[in-house]
Every structure is written in structure tokens, then in C-alpha cells.
Amino acid sequence: MRPFLLSTLVVAVSAFGVSANKYKPCSLDGVDIIGRLPDTITPPMAHLTLSFVTAAIGSQNYTCSPNNNYTLVGAVAEVYDISCLAKSDEFTTVQDKLIGLWKSAPVGVTPHQVTSSSPETNANPLLGYHYFVPNPLGQPGNSPKWDFTSTGALYGNEEAFVTAARFTGDTAPTGKQDIDWVGTNAIDPAGLLAAQVYRTDTREGQPPSECRFGESPDIQVKYACKYWFYGSAVPAESGWA
């Protein structure tokens, strides 16, 4: 089987889980989301600097609503550092490679299995996980969270997460088959990972347009995207683990 290896997004773990070569992120000086967003999306606050630029693969979860259409109930994804791609041409296509690999993975294969199946390198740029949690302010519904506490640069730092709410966004420039590009603001003061998180370069993740309430099962739809983290207040000092 051809290894699920992105040429430069090197994402393997060694056979015994021992990391001989720690992943080293690259400087983000001169890298910015500005100029890449459509005019309809409010850019990050000017005083915030880019802390992490990442690519993710995972699933958007939907349930069939009484309106006979699918509504989002959550998502689960793995988030990879792509700082070392940021000044290369591959930066523009990384989400295309990822969605291709992810969609060709057999049923039951997880994102982690997709990205860790190559023995070529021990460097693993997995930064963390994206999932949904109950709204931390006690409001109805679930909120998106990005959690870097358990792996990667911020391993062990309990404040290395952000739970957020959308405040800006629009249909993906690539079309309605791809989930919206959005900007979010942090809403849980306990999380210091970022003040704002943006989702761009989305690929797929949309549900079918119709369903039958009470009959259609919950679904998970694969997607890939970039997430940009602005204004982190946690130093990346603990190293990659």
C-alpha cells in the first residue's frame, strides 16, 4: 500500500512510539491570512499576530432536523502544523492533498491512521484536536474547541485550548460543496490558545441537501481545511511531545 505520506507534511510516528527526531516548526514571520480572505469576511484584529497555521482532516457531523435538512451537531478533526509549508507553493494545495488521502482511506480508518502510516520519518507535526463541547457560557448548543493540551508544541499545558464562536464567515470561494470559511472569537477565558481562529481553504464537509426526519441516520462527512490561530497567550516552550 502506498504510504499516506504528504511530501512535506511529514506526519509519521515511529514503530514503537519513540520520537527520535522532534518536529521543529518554522518561523511565521511574514505569513498572514490578510490578502487571502474574501472581502466579505472580517479579518483578524489588527493587533493580533499569527501564532499557528495548520491543516486539518476530520469529519463534520450532522443530524436530520424536523425541516428535513441536515444540521451540524459537531466535528472531530486532527490539526497539523504547516508552518514549514507556509512560504512554499505546497501551502496552496495542502488541503487538496489531505482531502484526497482522507477520502481514499477505507471506512473505519481514522485521521490519525491516515497520517501516521508511513515509517519514513519520526517527525510528527500533530498539534492537537478539534471537536465540539457544550457551550462554556451555558448557552444552548455546542461550541467548536481546538485542544493542543495533549500533543505537540504545547503538550501538558492545560491552558492550550480555545473554545470559540463564529462572528464572520461566508460561502467558500471554491463553491457551496465546501463548508464555509469562518472567523471565530474565543469565548472561554480559561483557554489561552488563541483569541481568534479562522477556517479557510475548506474542502468538502457539506451534507446532502435533504433528509427525512426520523428516518435518515446521523452522518459524518469528511473534510479538510486550514485553521489559523491568532493571538496565542501560551508560549510554545514545552517542545514537541
Ligand X SMILES: *[C@@H]1O[C@H](CO)[C@@H](O)[C@H](O)[C@H]1NC(C)=O
Q: Which of residues 131-160 bind ligand X (CB under 6 A)?
A: 132
With CB under 6 A as the contact rule, the residue among 40, 71, 113, 174 that binds ligand X is: 71
Pick 150 or 220: Cβ nearer ligand X: 220
Minimum distance from CB of 218 to ligand X (Å)?
A: 7
Which residues within the stretch 3-42 sit at the binding site for ligand X (CB under 6 A)?
A: none
Task: Sketch the per residue contact string, 218 through 237, with ligand X: x for CB under 6 A, - otherwise.
Answer: --x-----------------
What residues form DSSP beta bridges with 162?
146
How far, in Å, CA of 101 to CA of 117, rounded?
12
Runs of H (alpha helix) within the chain: 94-104, 111-115
Least gap, CB of 209 to ligand X (angstroms) = 8
Nearest to 161 by CA among 180, 136, 178, 124: 136
Cell numbers for 24: 521543529
Closest distance between ligand X and the C-beta of residue 205, in Å?
Answer: 12
Site string for ligand X, 79-118 (x = CB under 6 A): ----------------------------------------
- Evaluate whether 115 touches 23 at the Cβ level (below 8 Å): no
Of 72, 67, 61, the C-alpha closest to 211 is: 67
Q: Does 74 bind ligand X (CB under 6 A)?
A: yes
Helix (H, G, I), strand (E, B) or coil at 206: coil
Residue (133 or 241) nearer to ligand X, CB:
133
Could you give the C-alpha distances from 177 to 46, 198, 205, in angstroms and in order? 31, 19, 8
Q: Which residues bind ligand X (CB under 6 A)?
A: 59, 61, 67, 69, 71, 73-74, 76, 132, 220
